[in-house]
Amino acid sequence: MDLFMEGTDWPKALSPLIEKYKGERHPLQYENIYQLLVMVVLSAQDSDAHINKIAPAFFKKYPDMNALAKANTAGLMEYLAEVRFHGNKIAWLQDIADTIKEDKNIPTTMKELVALKGVGRKSANVIMREAGKKAEGILVDLHVVRVAPRLGIAKGKDATKIEKEMMAVLPQDMWGEVGMAISFLGRDTCRPSNPKHSECIMNKHCEFYQEQTKK
């Protein structure tokens, strides 16, 4: 880490950002934990907006884990054919449904969630946050992978390493909200191209912005 990163009090610097987005729901438009679990699996390498679009018809047909457990591949394909990598995802959902069987059995701990097919740390962190559980990690989606290194709180493009670096400099009571807050910052302000530096709540702490202003 460079001197800029080492000199930043990240818990203090990120507090206004967390306050801005605290408690705001994930962009996936779910109604319960079953729907959220299915949607986070489907949204991998696809867009939240696309999954929100196809979800209502899917959940009308398969309203709970019990119904999903009884589904066959052809039936699921009818509703999920437009989802990216739908073949793998259908197999994962079938495995999850066979394992869990009923909504009441859906786990909400990191260890149990990542044991499910198609559920990695990012998805597990999303589910635990939305379920109001104590965070065991920090959500690192594609927006956080872009924004965290720009801010200077982490380096590189590896989500696992970024999560570890952020966990190392932030207290656990911030973990549950900070990832989603940075993700919303990436969606709203810190765009891939032409980020809105002047509107950014983090600009005075942002390494990328400081470098841009020196040019």
Measured at the CA of 74, the angle between CA 69 and CA 77, to 5 degrees, comes to 90
pLDDT per residue, tens digit, the chain (215 aa), is 443 445 799 999 999 999 999 989 999 999 999 999 999 999 999 999 999 999 999 999 999 999 999 999 999 999 999 999 999 999 999 999 999 999 999 999 999 999 999 999 999 999 999 999 999 999 999 999 999 999 999 999 999 999 999 999 999 999 999 999 999 999 999 999 999 999 999 999 999 999 888 76
Q: Which residues contact 112 (CB under 8 A, 6 or more apart)?
A: none
Structural domain boundaries, residue 109: 33-130
Tally of structural domains, the chain: 2
Map residue 117 onto helix, strand or coil.
coil
Q: Are residues 124 and 179 in the same domain?
A: no
Q: Are residues 45 and 115 in the same domain?
A: yes
Residue entry with tokens 């018809």? 57
d(CA 141, CA 164) in angstroms, rounded, equals 14
Residue where a domain stops, chosen among 86, 103, 130: 130
Q: Are residues 86 and 12 in the same domain?
A: no
Q: Are residues 103 and 154 in the same domain?
A: no
Q: Are residues 95 and 17 in the same domain?
A: no
Count of residues making up the chain: 215
